[in-house]
Copies of this chain bind each other. A is one copy, B any other.
Amino acid sequence: MSSVDLKWKVLFSVSVIVNFTCIVLVIIQSRTRLSWTREAAIEAENVASISCSGHGRAYLDGLVLREDGTPICECNACFTGPDCSLFKPNCAVDVDSGNPMFLEPFWKQNAGSSGVMVAGWHRMGYEFEDGSLISKQLKSVIHKLHDTVGNANTSNKYILFGAGSTQLLNAAVYALSHHTPYSSPTKVVASAPYYPVYKSQTELLDSKKYKFSGDTSSWKNKTRSTSTTTNFIEFVTCPNNPDGHLNKAVLQGKFARHVYDLAYYWPHYTAIPSPMDEDLMLFTLSKLTGHAGSRFGWAIVKDKDVYDRMVEYIDLNTYGVPRETQLRALKLLNVVLQGDRREMFRFAHTIMKTRWEKLAEILSTSKRFSIEQLPSQHCAFSKQVRPPSPAFAWLKCEAEEDEECHNVLRKSDIIGRKGAAFGVENRYVRLSVVNSRDDFDLLLQRLQDLVSKHRSIVDGVMSL
């Protein structure tokens, strides 16, 4: 054989090997090629790849203004421009609502495991296979979640779902005020400062069954008296919204029933000393995973009759929680419970802890504003002694003239929620600490400016 001949032979052999490898690759890729899910997956990836400068995001159902059919960037407050890169200098930072966007980066980091493909034919029917409106799989993940975190004892209790805890608040009031005959309506109370929805929702339909009756403290002695026959429902919020206190029930006796609103009883916001073991406990996805828009909450109920009446309420009010919401909640909670089951909690707590350290540092130099000092406690979940890192800063204006504290802040471009909304004086303001990083950074900066300005005025007066 000639050397030329040998050369071609070697070249051909190498080429055949490359060919073979290549063909195997093509076959493997074709086999794992997606079919009916492909269109939706590409669409979602395209939208996710739109750059909004880290100050916004584009959504699949966002407004479409561009010619190429892609949705626009939706910017964080105080940012603007087609890619959210422009800061609006005199923009007021809105920390009125507790919009839990601080958890968004966690879900972006876990995009692969937290996305869910909803088929066009997914669970079209009214009921699940067992005739209920509740996913068994989701219920069992919720049991596992509470076992893991140790914040609620769910054994031998019933679980039902609602549209956030919002819908479940009224379902609970309905269920607990169901006693015949109701000569006088059941009194619904909460300890001020309290979450405003307790009042507004209870009053909405002007029911003959129940009536919002204000602050718990005014009724404390009444329920102790043996002559009373008035029924009470007390909302117990732990940690409390707005002030972060680990509230306990105030009313006792056989005429007092309690609804434990435990929306914030997660290691992000508080040490978890021990599992709650109450007759009626409410939780919501909003403050656990940050999915406020999903409107998913659950109630853990001890008494079968109360559970049945709450189910009756949910049935007649909305006929259950959408199946796509239940599917997504299942996916998200499975991510929370994957690996060592602590990743999301570490992420959330680290952010909240850092935010509170920064906030406390700024406010520690101020005599004009104060925030309540909450004690550290041992947390059974993290096995550490932890200071609380509540979802809200409950700010008090200490100066005598600052009766309308929200106005003081508003002048410095900070929008908070005034005390009156929570049943107390306007010397108090609630500021959200759970919003996006942009919102929080801006809040810090504005507070820093406000505190410094006031300090320099005080220093000026002192030096006169």
Contact = CB atoms under 8 A, between A and B. Distances in A.
Interface of A: 1-2, 4-5, 8-9, 11-12, 15-16, 18-19, 22-23, 25-26, 29-30, 32-45, 48, 57, 59-64, 74, 97, 99-101, 103-104, 107-108, 110-127, 129, 135-138, 162-164, 166-167, 170, 174, 197, 200-201, 204-209, 286, 290-296, 313, 316-328, 330-332, 335
Contact of A120 (B22, B40, B110): B110
A164 to B, nearest CB: 6
Contacts of A97: 126-127
A26 to B, nearest CB: 5
A111 to B, nearest CB: 4
A113 B330 CA distance: 24
Given A39-B113, A124-B292, A322-B322, 20 more contacts: A22-B22, A34-B42, A40-B116, A43-B117, A62-B137, A63-B136, A104-B121, A115-B118, A116-B118, A118-B324, A118-B328, A162-B318, A170-B317, A201-B317, A295-B319, A317-B317, A318-B318, A321-B322, A324-B328, A325-B325
A120 B236 CA distance: 31
A52 to B, nearest CB: 12
B327 A115 contact: no
A218 B223 CA distance: 46
A125 B320 CA distance: 22
A2 B1 CA distance: 11
Contacts of A44: 37, 117, 119
Nearest to A326: B61
B137 A124 contact: no
Contact of A63 (B62, B124, B137, B290): B137
A20 to B, nearest CB: 10
Contacts of A99: 125-127
Given A42-B34, A324-B294, A59 B163 contact: no
Which has the most chain B C-beta neighbours within 10 Å: A18, A120, A200?
Answer: A120
A317 B123 contact: no
Contacts of A101: 124-125
Give the most central of A39, A97, A121, A129: most B CB within 10 Å. Answer: A121
Given A26-B25, A60-B116, A120-B114, A325 B324 contact: yes
A108 B121 contact: yes
Nearest to A47: B119
Contacts of A57: 121
A9 B6 CA distance: 11
Contacts of A295: 318-322
B115 A40 contact: yes
A322 B8 CA distance: 67
A228 to B, nearest CB: 22
A263 B321 CA distance: 20
Contacts of A9: 8
Contacts of A26: 22, 25-26, 29
Q: Among A1, A119, A201, which residue has the most Cβ atoms of chain B within 10 A?
A: A119
A363 B29 CA distance: 56
A119 B294 CA distance: 12
10 contacts: A2-B5, A15-B16, A19-B19, A22-B25, A43-B117, A110-B120, A201-B317, A295-B322, A322-B324, A324-B328
A103 B121 CA distance: 9
A168 B369 CA distance: 45
A35 B42 CA distance: 9
A322 B319 contact: no
Nearest to A42: B34
Contacts of A33: 29
A230 B320 CA distance: 34
Contacts of A206: 207-209
